[in-house]
Amino acid sequence: MTHIKTCCESIARSGFGTLQISDAMLQDYRKIVHGYSAISQATKASFSFVQDTDGFFPFGAEYSLSEEHPDLCERFCYWPVHASKRTAFEFIRSDFFSAVDTFERQISELAQELMDGICAEFGVPPLASMRLASYMQLCVYDAQAASSDRRFAQDPHEDGHLLSFIKPNREGLVLVRGGSLEPVRLLESEVAVLAGSLLTELSDYAIPAAYHAVLTPRKPVARSSLIYFVNPCPDQVLTGFCRRQAINLNRTVNARHTSFGNQPIQLL
């Protein structure tokens, strides 16, 4: 598709691009964002698996720079690799979870196609399936976050992944370019795609990681952002895009993951 190739070229050049999603994905996205508020605290408490970074996490459980400066949101994370361990929970039969599962399957296909295209830009072989090493995350910023005296609801940072697909329902996402902040504005059918530090390393520093942040709103308003974090398959021997030398990112993947306050990745 033309928009896939255009996005690949943009990421290879600048570390940032935008991508269109289907109407079906957009409908699932809306179900996820709008359905979160109906989930009870009891369900959130019971469907939380800290060791797997899976399920629900309370306000302030993750941070971008330091533990003393947490992100001003609560989270829901979904790893398909852990889905078989959750079959006893009634929550997985909810409309919300069904929308999450369907959206993840579709975004993972887009991610694979996009990563294959980026590899083609550099003339290297495509990566093995990344789905079981990757995960979705919904960040929900309460309207009261506006009362904070912080400039950022999420501090400036680069994601520790290959790619991050980000779809917020309100403004606030900004790219940090030097001393300036560049608002990310998306059409309803678009998702932002940001290169992470893993892709910078895999490309032998040819692709810059997209440094970004979330601004604290000036007025009390709730905000949600659905994100898909793409990690490489831990079993694949990777080759640097420019030097063409073998590179092992497994240790780096976990170092980046834990640096945000998460537990080490436990893949089946």
Q: CA 197, CA 212: separation in Å to the nearest integer?
A: 12
Residue 110: phi, psi to the nearest 5? -60, -40
The letter for the amino acid at 7 is C
Instruction: Tell whether 185 is covered by a domain.
Output: yes
Q: How many CB atoms lie within 10 A of CB 66?
A: 9
Residue pLDDT, tens place only, 42-95: 999 999 999 999 999 999 999 997 888 899 999 999 999 999 999 999 999 999
Average pLDDT over residues 2-27: 95
Residue 159 sits in a domain whose CATH number is: 2.60.120.330
**Residue 21 C-beta-side C-alpha neighbours within 13 Å:** 28
What does the block give as tokens for 113? 């196609």
Count of structural domains, the chain: 1
Q: What helix, strand, coil percent values describe the chain, rounded to 5?
A: 35, 25, 40
Q: How many CB atoms lie within 10 A of CB 129?
A: 13
User: Looking at 4-53, which runs of residues are DSSP E strands?
Assistant: 16-20, 48-49
Beta carbons within 8 Å of 94's beta carbon, 6+ residues apart: 39
Beta carbons within 8 Å of 63's beta carbon, 6+ residues apart: 69, 70, 71, 155, 260, 261
The residue segments making up the domain with residue 43 are: 2-258
Instruction: Tell whether 265 is covered by a domain.
Output: no
**101 CB burial (10 A radius; 0-12, 13-18, 19+):** middle
Whole-prediction pTM: 0.96
Instruction: Tell whether 268 is covered by a domain.
Output: no
Question: What distance lies between CA 79 and its chain's CA centroid?
Answer: 12
- The answer to whether 209 and 176 have CB atoms below 8 angstroms apart is no
Q: How many CB atoms lie within 10 A of CB 90?
A: 10
Instruction: Tell whether 91 is covered by a domain.
Output: yes
Question: In this model, does residue 262 exceed pLDDT 80?
Answer: yes
Q: Binning pLDDT at 50, 70 and 90, where does residue 3 land?
A: confident
Residue pLDDT, tens place only, 96-127: 999 999 999 999 999 999 999 999 999 999 99
Instruction: Tell whether 263 is covered by a domain.
Output: no
Mode of pairing for the β-strands spanning 180-183 and 74-78? unpaired
What does the block give as tokens for 247? 């590179």
Selection from 93, 100, 105, 57 nearest residue 78 by Cα: 100
Residue 201: phi, psi to the nearest 5? -70, -40
The pLDDT value recorded for residue 4 is 94
The pLDDT value recorded for residue 1 is 53
Instruction: Tell whether 242 is covered by a domain.
Output: yes
Residue 156: phi, psi to the nearest 5? -55, 135
Instruction: Tell whether 99 is covered by a domain.
Output: yes
